[in-house]
Structure 1
Amino acid sequence: MPHQGPSDTTPSPASVGDENPFADALVCVAGLGVSGPPVARALLARGARVVVVDGRDDETTRRVAAELTEAGARVVLGETPLPEGCDLVVISPGWRPDSPLAERAAEAGVEVIGDVELAWRLKPADQVWLAITGTNGKTTTVRMLESILRADGRDALAVGNVGTPIVDAVLPDAEGHVHDILAVELSSFQLHWSESLRPHAATVLNVAPDHLDWHGGLEPYARAKGRVFARGTLRVVNTADAWSVRLAEEEGDPHTPLVGIRSDTPRTGELGVVEDLLVDRAFVDEPHSSAEELATLADVRPAAPHNVSNALAAAALARSVGVAADSVRAGLVAFVPEPHRIAHVARVAGVDYVDDSKATNPHAAAASLNSYPSVVWVAGGLLKGAEVDDLVSSAAHRLRGAVLIGADRARIREALDEYAPEVTVVEVEGPAADAPEGHTVMDVVVAEATALAGEGDTVLLAPAAASMDMFTNYPERGRLFAEAVHRLG
């Protein structure tokens, strides 16, 4: 049976040679955000001399600094010096390659890695990593994968860019337990700072313009994603995404298996959809002549096309370690979607209201819009330089109306005027002057969208933009939308 179970037991770098390469090493941990404190504690536990630096010096940072100082680290706030005699820098994922600290380290010949690379070097040799990256869908897919693995009785945990910090997941807990399999969500930042990472299997779900200022363009951004395929990793490829295919071919090892996923009938070596069934023609005894049913479309929630693709990617990664077909179905049924991801809020007077506030870029919004035939689109916010012409032109035939909010709504209005001139557009700047207590700008948005919608339509919050111009974050944006819908109903 092809590709079932880990292909080898290649030890991780930390298990080769020196039992504890960090003992008495001087390590600079850059950043006191989510990843920094777990990294510092892990290094201290291995006898490293740890210096933590962070350019911030506020109350929250000082509190974390005090805890690490008590644990034995030296902490420098308000500046980011490279400690003299430094052996290694472990940098927080969001720090840019051209940050002063990273540049000083490069000039001094000091290796700079991220928390994921450190975790790879610390992990037990027999711990299996299944990795997921892409512009959109990572969190959903990694959670689906965790659910499928657990349904199969595997000791699995979702980590990385979600959930448990990855460094904590490779170390024994208080009872000395370490998980057997990690479902690892990886951002382009984390992959940029990873050198020797070699998951058992990995996927690039999709690539679309995002974080281009950080990486310096689409090509280096995509190449960072493609690093997940390097060094002999089994490659799971989204055949509908040109970058996914290209990165697997150009960044991956051609001698390792390549498994495709598609939204229609799968070919040999692929997973796909036949009528209303998710089927496998890769991890079966006779892939040229047979297929195995994994689940039905009804088992995928929501069954939007891009979410079915997420489910197939999760299934392929799970099947690469021998998970049974029945467990794929059980895991998908047990999976609870994260909030604000194509979440059905309510149906009022024959109109569906859907919260996809997590659609913070045009690529995500396009997937959401393609899930519904007739849409009143709620969009806008901070585009971060992203272009929306392709999004609007491809979705124009689905749009019954549009309600625009946020700092960059004029740019979306321009695209609508050019590519969907017949669509009625309403712009909303803020809450009504005479709004009752507790009512927000979303009450105005929902009221305007409702006025444009007819029976059978979907009022869809899929902003294609970030939220910080008007809201604390995308969850708050989605929550206020849902609350306004419930007040309407």
Structure 2
Amino acid sequence: MQERVVVVGFGRSGTGAARLLKAQGVDVCLLESGNSADLQRRANCLTAEGINVELAKPLSLASFAVLPERVVLSPGIAFDHPVIQQLRDQGVAVVGEMEVAWNGFNGVPWIGVTGTNGKTTVTSLLGHLLQQAGLDAPVCGNIGSSAAELALERRGGATPAWAVVELSSFQIEAAPSVAPKIGIWTTLTPDHLDRHSNVNNYRSIKASLLRRSEIQILNADDPDLCSHTGDWPRALWVSAKPKQQLPAVINTHIWIESGHVHNKNGPLFPASALAMPGSHNKQNLVLATAAALQVGLSANQIEQGCRSFPGVCHRLELIDTQNEVFFYNDSKATNYDASLVALQALPGPLVLLAGGRAKRGEPAAWLKALELKAKAVVLFGEATPTFNELLGASGYGGKIELREGLAQAVPLAAQLAKELGANAVLLSPACASFDQYENFEQRGDHFRELVEALKN
């Protein structure tokens, strides 16, 4: 008897999961609460492939006319949603798209990369290193193609040597079978607390992926991870600092000393091979290096790969220089800590563009960095009143301007940079993008367009 599966959510992950399941011979239906013209067009495409799509279906038991054997959730839907729990109570198995992809890859070893910040850069860099060394190692997950899309693309074709997969907490909690060959944990600071309630729950979800990983690589420079060293007796710890500066309880595997990346056998290559600003990128470098060595790359292959790495879109991306002012797109900075990293990486003075949909978090360090680095802050979007109040309460001494959106904020930021003698305009929103954009990529692309328009 053919298995019946309902996929909930019509995003990239949901579409990829539905297509992969269909290719596996599953009777699949996709439910989506929206009903826009674009969704109608996309639904028609899937219907032509034999996938039943039902639009305007809210997440309620009434939307499930007949209970399926399995429900596959898109990452945007809470794993503990009351309706999802009701489905479980009635015997329905509930998983996420990553679980479907994991099974669809048929034994391809994964390098799973997670963390609050840094995971996209590490995933991108590591994929680049492996590919430049001649390995078939596609990048997917919370970056680029969905993992299910990639599994479908490779179905019946060339089997990858590795899959380099970025995994968010939303994806990990709904994929309990995913067990990477190599697991990497970049950082841990409070994030997504509206979804996970508290940092302990958030940490536990991230940790579950590493516990299922055969090889565990952790960042010894992250205060939270470092405070839990006793939980990871077999981990490979890495640091952007000299080995002697780390606690004695940490058996450091890779570190940076005298400008070179080191392991126990001595220096491997100059840390300057990765030409990206900020100490956080040195941490990303040693995490990627540790994994690449485990895969079997030589130090020379890693060095050459680092030298040709183009960087990551929307993460401290230098997009233009106008009138001696640098314009940086850091749209991926969707929380205080990510924006703080950008502020610490760049020399001041600068003008910051911040705003969007605010998240729960601790802004004190971010506010302190603004005082040190930012001559002005231009606020935009839904978070404007919240951020304006935060800046006022902190005693911020620079100029504060409020605008509706980026279209109004970017020209003003460029003008302020000229008037105040700032050398950079930095879009590092410290917010989610969902008040005005579909995702942070769309926000960053809009910023790029607006900066280009300044020339005219």
Given that 2:238 and 2:287 are in contact with CA atoms closer than 8 Å, whether structure 1 keeps it comes out as: yes
Spell out the pairing of 1:40-189 with structure 2 (5 A cutoff). Answer: 40-79=18-57, 80=59, 81-82=63-64, 84-125=66-107, 127-171=108-152, 173=154, 176-189=157-170
314-323 vs 45-54, which deviates more?
45-54
For 1:182, the aligned partner's letter is A
Map of 1:276 onto structure 2: 259
Q: Is 1:231 matched with 2:212?
A: yes
The aligned amino acid for 2:102 is W
Amino acid of the residue matched to residue 116 of structure 1? M
User: Is 1:221 paired with 2:202?
Assistant: yes
Partner of 2:340: 366
**Does the aligned pair in 1 maintain the 2:113–2:186 contact within 8 Å?**
yes
Instruction: Tell me if structure 1 keeps the 8 A contact 2:240–2:279.
Output: yes
Q: Aligned residues, how many? A: 442
2:400 — aligned with what? 426
Q: CA RMSD in A?
A: 2.8
Are 1:443 and 2:420 matched, yes or no?
A: no
- 2:183–2:213 contact (8 Å) kept in structure 1: no
Q: Residue 446 of structure 1: SS of its match in structure 2? A: helix
The alpha-carbon distance between structure 1 residues 69 and 415, as it changes in their structure 2 partners (threshold 3 A), is closer
How far 1:101 sits from its partner (Å)?
4.0
Per the alignment, residue 483 of structure 1 pairs with 452
Structure 1 distance, partners of 2:174, 2:49, is 26
> What whole-Å deviation, never above 9, does each CA across 1:274-319 have from its counterpart, x for those lacking one?
222222x2xxxxx2xx32413432x213232112211221111111
Deviation at 1:405, TM superposition (A): 3.5
Q: Counterpart of 2:247?
A: none
Name the residue aligned to 2:368: 393
Counterpart Cα distance in 1 of 2:454 and 2:190: 32
Cα separation, 1, equivalents of 2:229 and 2:209: 9
Runs of 5+ consecutive residues of structure 1 not aligned to the other structure: 1-22, 282-286, 433-438
Three-state SS of the structure 1 residue aligned to 2:158 is coil
Provide the rounded CA distance (Å) in 1 between the counterparts of 2:374 and 2:42: 48
The alignment partner of 1:380 has SS state of strand
* Compared CA separation, residues 245 and 233, structure 1 to 2 (3 A): farther
Between structure 1 and structure 2, the one with the greater Rg is 1
2:443 corresponds to which letter in structure 1? Y
Deviation at 1:45? 2.3
Shift of 1:362: 0.8
Q: Distance in 2 between matches of 1:248 and 1:269?
A: 11
Q: 1:312 to 1:431 in 2, by over 3 A?
A: closer
Identical pairs, percent: 27
Q: CA deviation at 1:224?
A: 1.8
Take 2:445 and 2:260, find their aligned partners in 1: how far apart are those partners?
Answer: 36
Q: Find the residue that maps to 2:129 and give its secondary structure.
A: helix
Distance 2:347 2:444 in 1: 25
List runs of 5+ in structure 2 lacking aligned partners.
245-250
Closer/same/farther in 2, CA of residues 87 and 410 from structure 1, 3 Å limit: closer
Residues 1:34 and 2:17 are matched in the alignment: no
| SS of match in other structure, 1:264 | coil
Stretch of structure 1 that moved more, 61-70 or 221-230? 61-70
Deviation of 1:157 (Å): 0.4
What residue number does 1:344 align with?
318
1:381 aligns with 2:363: no
Tell me how far 1:158 sits from its aligned partner: 0.3
Q: Does structure 1 residue 296 correspond to structure 2 residue 271?
A: yes
TM-score of the two chains, using structure 2 as the length reference: 0.87
Could you say what secondary structure the match of 1:444 adopts?
helix
Distance 1:402 1:337 in 2: 26
**Contact 1:405–1:429 under 8 Å retained in 2:** yes
Separation (CA, whole Å) in 2 of partners of 1:164 and 1:400: 39
Q: Which residue of 1 is the match for residue 177 of structure 2?
A: 196
Partner of 1:474: 443
Secondary structure of the structure 2 residue equivalent to 1:341: coil
Find the counterpart in structure 1 of residue 383 from structure 2: 408
The 3-state SS of whatever aligns with 2:120 is helix
- Structure 1 stretch 27-36 or stretch 178-187: which is displaced more? 27-36
- Provide the rounded CA distance (Å) in 1 between the counterparts of 2:119 and 2:302: 18
Assess if the C-alpha contact under 8 Å between 2:271 and 2:282 holds in 1.
no
Aligned-partner residue type, residue 161 of structure 1: N
Aligned to 1:462: 428
CA distance in structure 1 between the partners assigned to 2:174 and 2:320 by the alignment? 43
Residues in 1 aligned to 2:91 and 2:22: alpha-carbon distance in whole angstroms: 23
The C-alpha deviation readout for 1:25-73, integer Å capped at 9, x for no partner, is: 2222222211222222222222222222222223233333333333333
Contact 2:179 2:209 in 1 (8 A): yes
Partners of 2:364 and 2:125 in 1: how far apart? 32
